[in-house]
Structure 1
């Protein structure tokens, strides 16, 4: 159950809107009419997310926020305000507030922003622990594994978590890099501060700089107000930059300055902003090779690589597979309402023979699919989805292009003959249409899972679907919002 606290002296409309957007029993909404009452509720039991009015009868919303931040900076606070200028709300963002919304509330926007805040709150509060082999199935948020390579990872987390230095986490996609970053954060000196995550590969190049550093009003077309970036918002806390290898070269120089001097300028601004942020970065790329090839700045690589933790791929963790399967079968059985308590030995044999190109993330997906097909207390081989090894699949498809590739090739030929002028944008649109359709077919319309596979935010996925005129006809999870 998600616990929301609304601090607002409105006695009817706003509380009713919030309760409508977040109904029981999946959510609990508490109401505080004054700033003092709100602070008392926070101290009695930390809510997951706080909605805070800027104007309260006994004190300003800003004063309430600053006290909340002193008590527990991990609680995401979303301001709600009538003032369209929002100068105070922007100031709150500079102090680390999560976001701000305008009255009257847009329920769709409210659900999106609060949903994102709940995800951030879970990352900060859900403990990351190393599970023992005998108890791993009962541990939430556990890093599971006892092979020699994983024991080295645990040692590295212990060595660096107490040191306020940058950390670079390397490893293939799906190996659990974010979980390691959260473990470093939770065991470090900034554990009471905020923790934010940004996937550099999921944000268009022209927007990534603004997302990181913010922008001034009028900095570019569409910049109708000042934006506070992640480096300013997470001041005093920890910022995890996933897939930093995909950061454009033009932006890497600014990143280097932040790491060296802890200061930057917003896009379109001249004011030097000072910050105090611990950076943890992750990538599936070989940054050392990329730096020698000119694809990544060597000086930034050396600055990031002061301390590096490498996560092994699942195919190199054969000794851990039984433990991992046991953990996820029991964990997802509870989640999906199944009563599976044992795994047939042939299931383990098939899983051990697979190469796991998607690593832990793919294993979780396979276990979930098998459990959804299961009946009875034993997970049988017949419940497993088809496991097509990457090497075999490449060999089978190398001789002939896919249907999607043929369609794209035909489209390009047609537009070339027509002497197109916007071919780059047109091809990317066609590619997005094909890719999003294929991924949503694979996830059976589950937008949350599709966004995770694509490595983008759900809101970005929804925006792309609207732009392409695509409609989702089926979703297997009830919490997967429709368009």
Structure 2
């Protein structure tokens, strides 16, 4: 249960919070003075604090400083009248999470507190590797395959070092979990941890979110905003999906990494910061550098130490370890007791390609548990797309860049005739096969995904000798 402490001397404000947040999933604590609030922080260690600037016994800023000295990880949201925003901004510089102006509006208040709860969870709930022992409520990085063993070693090597780290891997492979593990094993574990998804913030707002802006810097900038680099000074900033940054924002971030200083948007004051950066991406940054879409100098700054997470489909027996882990975890949450998976279900889970990786597996297990009856997970409890995808899965190695290089090198060395056409046909064959796997053999959807007409797809299938009966034969794959 998340806990929320509201420190305000106005009875009407406390009453409004009780009405809005008096829910079973939230423990609401209230205090009407600074001293009472500090006692509540020491006793209850709340997940989030809402703090009024003006209190009867001491300034809200002083209360905030004392909270920070007790636990710098607690997100503190200030509420303030129009005449005291300068004090709230000063608090933001010192690391407050955000502030809201009175009178409070419920929708933005709920959104902000939900974000604060999530940030608090990321800092407080440990992210541990499986080899570190029992979970005790921690988020566990599960995996025993060689690639995951290397990930564990990398976390141990990089966590104590004050250098940037770059985590690479497909969507859903657990990049944020690895970033949290690095943070929680670092010297900055008692400081703040903030996470920003660069792909989720509009291009014109991302720079302001990271660096802040001055009042009047652009249309809608009605007050000064403190950015995450300033707010998180002394802590760790996780930049997820950094490959989605525009070149202009990349240049600004590069300067922060080089000089540990920056200016807010629309400002000329140089601000110093002390932030450790952990970045992550699902994109091929080296390819983006060649395409002039990502700065090479920023890449070299970020990739001082790189951790690459393997996709779920390449992790072998880790899959069933994860299935059992999620069955246990979500079985408790949903009141379902599944003790085993049937052999048919196990085979189906292994044959599915898991394009969404761990995130997709979590969703599938939850859906299956909701459908389940009895102690055994049966195939019919799995979502339909998994059942269809498993039937269409071709158990073959993918055409990875290294395989292509090998095929090309072998062909060039042997002076193979028609090498150009041969390589293109093999790649095309693999591409069409993969597209049909992902769409369950549906040619119309496959053609749409590939950006070609259905007739073009049919002609290519015919010319390559690929037969489709809602299932792809092993003999259709060029790498078998």
TM-score (norm 1): 0.80
Q: Deviations over 1:440-469 (max 9, x none)?
A: xxxxxxxxxxxxxxxxxxxxxxxxxxxxxx
Could you tell me which residue of structure 1 aligns to residue 34 of structure 2? 35
Could you tell me which residue of structure 2 aligns to residue 5 of structure 1? 5
Within a 5 Å distance, the mapping from 1:404-443 to structure 2 comes to: none
**Relative to structure 2, which stretch is displaced further, 381-390 or 161-170?**
381-390
Is 1:117 aligned to 2:162, yes or no? no
Determine if contact 1:84/1:102 at 8 Å carries over to the other structure.
no
Shift of 1:110: 1.6
For residues 85 and 41 of structure 1, what CA distance do their matches in structure 2 show?
25
For residues 403 and 200 of structure 1, what CA distance do their matches in structure 2 show?
28
Q: Deviations over 1:263-292 (max 9, x none)?
A: 000111000111100000000111122213
Could you tell me which residue of structure 2 aligns to residue 127 of structure 1? 126
Q: Which runs of 5+ in 1 are unaligned?
A: 407-483
Shift of 1:394: 4.9
Could you tell me which residue of structure 2 aligns to residue 80 of structure 1? 79
Shift of 1:398: 4.9
For residues 230 and 133 of structure 1, what CA distance do their matches in structure 2 show?
31
Determine if contact 2:439/2:446 at 8 Å carries over to the other structure.
no
Could you tell me which residue of structure 2 aligns to residue 322 of structure 1? 320
Shift of 1:106: 1.4
Could you tell me which residue of structure 2 aligns to residue 15 of structure 1? 14
Gap change, CA 1:95 and 1:355, over 3 Å in 2: same
Among candidates 212, 220, 223, match of residue 222 of structure 1: 220
Could you tell me which residue of structure 2 aligns to residue 313 of structure 1? 311
Could you tell me which residue of structure 2 aligns to residue 463 of structure 1? none
Could you tell me which residue of structure 2 aligns to residue 107 of structure 1? 106
Shift of 1:402: 8.0
Among candidates 251, 257, 260, match of residue 259 of structure 1: 257
Determine if contact 1:193/1:236 at 8 Å carries over to the other structure.
yes
Shift of 1:162: 0.4
Is 1:45 aligned to 2:90, yes or no? no
Q: Deviations over 1:206-244 (max 9, x none)?
A: 111111101111111111111111111111110000000
For residues 403 and 147 of structure 1, what CA distance do their matches in structure 2 show?
36
Could you tell me which residue of structure 2 aligns to residue 298 of structure 1? 296
Could you tell me which residue of structure 1 aligns to residue 355 of structure 2? 357
For residue 202 of structure 1, give the secondary structure of its aligned residue in structure 2. coil
**Relative to structure 2, which stretch is displaced further, 21-30 or 373-382?**
21-30
Q: Deviations over 1:129-162 (max 9, x none)?
A: 12259967x7541111111110100000000100
For residues 41 and 402 of structure 1, what CA distance do their matches in structure 2 show?
61
**Relative to structure 2, which stretch is displaced further, 164-173 or 89-98?**
89-98
RMSD of Structure 2 on Structure 1 (CA): 2.1
For residues 125 and 343 of structure 2, what CA distance do their matches in structure 1 show?
33
Gap change, CA 1:72 and 1:142, over 3 Å in 2: same
Could you tell me which residue of structure 1 aligns to residue 211 of structure 2? 213
Shift of 1:57: 1.0
Determine if contact 2:196/2:238 at 8 Å carries over to the other structure.
yes
For residues 174 and 382 of structure 2, what CA distance do their matches in structure 1 show?
23
**Relative to structure 2, which stretch is displaced further, 40-49 or 213-222?**
40-49
Structure of higher CA gyration radius:
2
Among candidates 365, 389, 393, match of residue 438 of structure 2: 393
Could you tell me which residue of structure 2 aligns to residue 248 of structure 1? 246
For residue 90 of structure 1, give the secondary structure of its aligned residue in structure 2. helix
Q: Deviations over 1:14-67 (max 9, x none)?
A: 111111111142111112222122112212231000010101111100011011
Within a 5 Å distance, the mapping from 1:146-185 to structure 2 comes to: 146-185=144-183
Is 1:70 aligned to 2:115, yes or no? no
For residue 28 of structure 1, give the secondary structure of its aligned residue in structure 2. strand
Determine if contact 1:133/1:323 at 8 Å carries over to the other structure.
no
For residues 111 and 128 of structure 1, what CA distance do their matches in structure 2 show?
26
Determine if contact 2:125/2:137 at 8 Å carries over to the other structure.
no
Q: Deviations over 1:107-142 (max 9, x none)?
A: 222211111100000000001112259967x75411
Is 1:273 aligned to 2:318, yes or no? no
Shift of 1:393: 3.3
Determine if contact 1:131/1:139 at 8 Å carries over to the other structure.
no
Gap change, CA 1:139 and 1:113, over 3 Å in 2: closer
Determine if contact 1:4/1:51 at 8 Å carries over to the other structure.
yes
Gap change, CA 1:399 and 1:104, over 3 Å in 2: closer
Q: Deviations over 1:172-193 (max 9, x none)?
A: 0000000000000000011011
Determine if contact 1:173/1:284 at 8 Å carries over to the other structure.
yes
For residues 139 and 183 of structure 2, what CA distance do their matches in structure 1 show?
14
TM-score (norm 2): 0.81
> How many aligned residue pairs are there?
404
